[in-house]
Amino acid sequence: MRRELEFRGALVIGSVGLLVRAYNKALMAREDLDHAIDALFDESTLHLSLAFRGYVRKLINDLGKVC
């Protein structure tokens, strides 16, 4: 479904993207972002690879402080 939506020009945002956007808009604290990301990888039924986890951790570490 994601590929079809992207093919049709829709902006598709996944769980990680949604959390990062919330942090960037100061809707959640950094500590909450870290906890949510950890929970997403450790407790979710989503299939998320270790490589993707490393990518996400780097992305989050590179984020500037919001607020």
Residue 51 CA to residue 10 CA, distance in Å, equals 26
Extract the tokens encoding 40.
Answer: 């997403």
pLDDT tens for the chain, residues 1 to 67:
888 988 999 988 889 999 999 999 999 999 999 999 999 999 988 888 889 999 999 999 998 776 5
Residue 12: per-residue pLDDT = 85
Query: 33: Cβ–Cβ under 8 A, 6 or more apart, which residues?
Result: 19, 20, 22, 23, 60
Whole-model pTM: value is 0.76
- What is the rounded CA–CA span in Å between residue 11 and residue 60? 21
How far apart are alpha carbons 38 and 41 in whole angstroms? 5
For residue 38, the one-letter residue type is: D
Q: Show me where the domains of the chain are located.
A: 2-62
